[in-house]
Amino acid sequence: YYSLPLEFVKKIKQDYPQDWKYFLETTISRPKMTYLNLDPKKQEGEVAYQTERLTYQVLKKDPSSLKIFQSKKAYIQNPTPGILIDNLSSGMDPKTILDLCSAPGGKLILTHYLFPQAQLYANEISSERMKRLEENLQKYDLHPTLFCQDGKNFQYDQKFDLIIIDAPCSNSGVLNKKPEAKFRLEEKNLQELKETQKQLITQAVLQLSQHGIIFYLTCSVLKEENEEIIHQILHENPKLKLLKMKTLLPDLNGLDGGFGAAIQLQ
């Protein structure tokens, strides 16, 4: 099966009995380059995906030749995070937002576009990746408060209305872009990732304001990293309630696979 570990294929068949064959096809499909249009009144190309508040367009030439990139009104990004965050955040108005695993900064640029009035905070564990994050944010004229902490032990003397966790995961929803991720699908690696995912959410809960919300996002399609993690967290913490959950399977048009859930502190 496309040189994927058999154990992984078995899980995909179990998780998606109707769609597993199509999913396997997407793992060898060619990714399509798209960008988030931050000025939808000006469209310079074919629309790839549109949500209630976001427009993604197909990138067919060198971005530096497009006016929209020169004026910093576009960001290269697959539509999946936008589709998930737009869906999860519908009707919300957070005043303070923390992006807990922030580099390279695409989620923060997207979140700022959706909530331009919110105060932004960004955390990144790796000082190397932090440099890239700072460069990206400066380019888009964003100046959040920055932290370089391990998200599993993150502490700050302020609480947040919205915390975004783009969790480390198996990358099983983007195998066409990251073929090396096949090696992350081994059981031992998955157990370690799931432990990290739970620790990140558990720590984030401590930083939520009253009725604050966590967006838990992965680019995995495995239910054990997605729905099952959320159900475990809800079971262990009765003060949390599930608002929404959504899975996107990758498709042959270039959409990445991914998962998003919104949970709220009561």
Angle between helices 106-114 and 79-89 (to 10 degrees): 40
Using the 8-state DSSP alphabet, how is residue 168 labeled? -
Distance of CA 144 to the CA centre of its chain: 19
What tens digit of pLDDT does each residue of 138-171 get? Answer: 999 999 999 999 999 999 999 999 999 999 999 9
Closest CA to 201 of 250, 124, 247, 261: 261
All structural domains of the chain, each given as residue ranges with its CATH number in brackets, are 79-265 (3.40.50.150)
Q: Active-site residue among 101, 148, 169, 219?
A: 219
| Average pLDDT per consecutive 10 residues, the chain (266 residues; last block may be shorter) | 90 98 94 93 87 94 91 96 98 98 98 98 98 96 98 98 99 95 91 98 98 99 99 98 98 96 98
Please check whether residue 83 is in contact with residue 89, taking contact to mean a CB–CB distance below 8 angstroms. no
Q: Is 219 a catalytic residue?
A: yes
- Residue 166's CB is within 10 A of a number of other CB atoms, namely 23
Closest CA to 34 of 259, 258, 255, 260: 255
